[in-house]
Amino acid sequence: MENPYLIVGLGNPGADYARTRHNAGFLVVDRLVGRWRASWAYEKKFNARLVSVQRVSRRVILCEPQTYMNSSGEAVGTVMAFYRVPHPGLLVIVDDADLPLGELRLRPGGSSGGHHGLESVEQHLGTREYARLRVGIGRQSGAREITGYVLGRFSSTEAALVDRVLTVASDQAETWLEAGIQKAMSQFNGVVSDPANEGKAQ
């Protein structure tokens, strides 16, 4: 039987963190779960929420670690080992404060860039060679201390753009799954157009 694919969204569990910028990874996989008409189930042995579906004749597992961001690798490593997911079959979706809101960047590997969730995944997998999709959330201009910002919620003026970003990021994840990472990078990496600006361009 073919090895399954694993798409992981990183974030923090609980109502206090719901729909915050730091939970962009959760928001994308939540969008995929809704799109695929699936539903989450909490798996205690992984301390994660999981969904298992059949997509394009392959098994796909969606995962939201419930470990808190900085320990995400514990759940990711355990799920990968249990389901025998090879590293090329893993996609991790995270927020990125160094990318402006609306920008998507998929890469086949690389450093954590200081993202504690990716650091934890790298530590538990023992490799940087796995796909990661960074979802830009921006940062306050000139601010280095960004904890309050990333743990805050998107503003009402950002809502339309965020909704479109989640849709395009979901499209990109599906393309990664169905057509491979090169196609997904070339087709979707870059800036998602802001619906608020489209009327002004007329």
pLDDT of residue 202: 45
| C-alpha distances in Å from residue 67, one per residue of 10, 14, 64 | 10, 11, 9
Per-residue pLDDT at 40 exceeds 80:
yes
pLDDT of residue 197: 80
Give the model confidence (pLDDT) of 180-196 as tens digits: 999 999 999 999 998 88
Looking at 43-52, 111-120, 122-131, which range is the least confident one? Answer: 111-120
The residue with greater pLDDT, 198 or 18, is 18
Q: Which CATH number do you get for residue 174?
A: 3.40.50.1470
Looking at 12-16, 113-117, 150-154, 177-181, which range is the least confident one? Answer: 150-154
Q: What would the mean pLDDT of 114-133 be, rounded to a whole number?
A: 94
8 forms bridges with which residues in the sheet?
63, 92
Alpha helix (H) residue ranges in the chain: 24-35, 72-83, 116-125, 147-150, 159-179, 181-188, 195-198
Q: Residue 159 is encoded by which pair of tokens?
A: 């809502």
pLDDT of residue 141: 55
Residues spanned by the domain of 108: 5-198
45, with CB counted inside 10 A (0-12, 13-18, 19+), is exposed
Enumerate the active-site residues: 22
> 25 with 93: CB under 8 angstroms?
yes
Per-residue pLDDT at 148 exceeds 80:
no
0.75 cut: is pTM over it? yes
Q: What would the mean pLDDT of 61-72 be, rounded to a whole number?
A: 96
Count of domains forming the chain? 1
